[in-house]
Amino acid sequence: MLEILNASLKVGHRSLLDNISFTIQPGEFVAVCGPNGAGKSSLIRLISGEIKPANGHVRWHGKDIAAWNLLHLARHRALLQQRCEVGFDYTAMEVILLGRHPHHQGATRNVDVRIAELALAEVEGRHLADQIYSTLSGGEQARVQMARVLAQIWEPSDSPKLLLLDEPTAALDPRQQHRILSVAKQWARKGDVAVVAIVHDLNLAAQYADRIALLREGKLQTIDTVHAVVTPEAVEACFDLPCVLLTHPDGGTPMVAARRNIN
């Protein structure tokens, strides 16, 4: 279980996150939504162990995330960041194989190549395998990076896993947005993976997440089921966006539509 307990984050005198608390179980997909500058990426970095809270704790199965053995953590926790720079002329397959490094720490094995191929197929990217990463479009690069983090935690394990996705759909076309979030949901459904994803499109998050967390100005406004969170009242309070509630005709998930005038 992932526990965020009264966690705060500061840079100088500026508070980025303020007293955040919630828990996530393996098998659950939680989408984090909120306006620009709400602290969403800071929260993902905090959960990943990349940065430490000024106050409070982030615990993974009862132990502070910073106390885990780094190699064990790298085999069980994968982080997809907003920006993933690659400074060499690697192919897409070589980039994905970087995610396998914690499992071999030396020469790439046949099993690593096979897992990388399967991960690329998950994101409908087989045709990208031999292309130079830097020549790919932003959306294609995003799919390659998604395949990399999947390859990192691909193998079955006795220990639950954590998949952290910072705006995984930002550069994608509509089909691939649905594909990536569908894959994330399928991974949560494996039962041993907790998925946390920052998603800007609240209606898209509602179609795939089990729960949605709303952040505003570094504070957790709410975290609850999709039907409890996707309401005109909650959306307006978080985004300052007057809206009306609709129901998706395929599946019945709640949706919000902005009003024409948003003075």
Quick one: pLDDT at residue 165?
A: 97
Per-domain residue ranges of the chain: 2-258
pLDDT for position 117: 96
Q: What's the pTM value of the predicted model, to 2 decimals?
A: 0.93
Strand extents, DSSP E, 114-233: 161-166, 193-198, 211-216, 219-225
Hey, is 116 helix, strand or coil? helix
Torsion of CA 49, 52, 56, 62, to 10 degrees: 30
Decide which of 3.40.190.10, 3.30.450.20, 3.40.50.300, 1.10.10.10 is the CATH code for 2-258: 3.40.50.300
CB 129 within 8 A of CB 122: no
How far apart CA 90 and CA 96 sit, in angstroms, is 10
Secondary structure letter of residue 126 according to DSSP? G
> Which pLDDT belongs to residue 91?
95
pLDDT for the residue 263 = 65
Query: Which pLDDT belongs to residue 251?
Result: 86
pLDDT for the residue numbered 216 = 96
pLDDT in tens, the chain (263 residues): 899 999 999 888 888 999 999 999 999 999 999 999 999 999 999 999 999 999 999 999 889 998 898 988 899 999 998 776 776 788 999 999 999 999 887 888 999 999 999 999 999 999 999 999 999 999 999 999 999 999 999 988 778 899 999 999 988 999 999 999 999 999 999 888 999 999 999 999 999 999 999 999 999 999 999 999 999 999 999 999 999 999 999 889 999 999 877 66
Q: What pLDDT score does 85 carry? A: 72
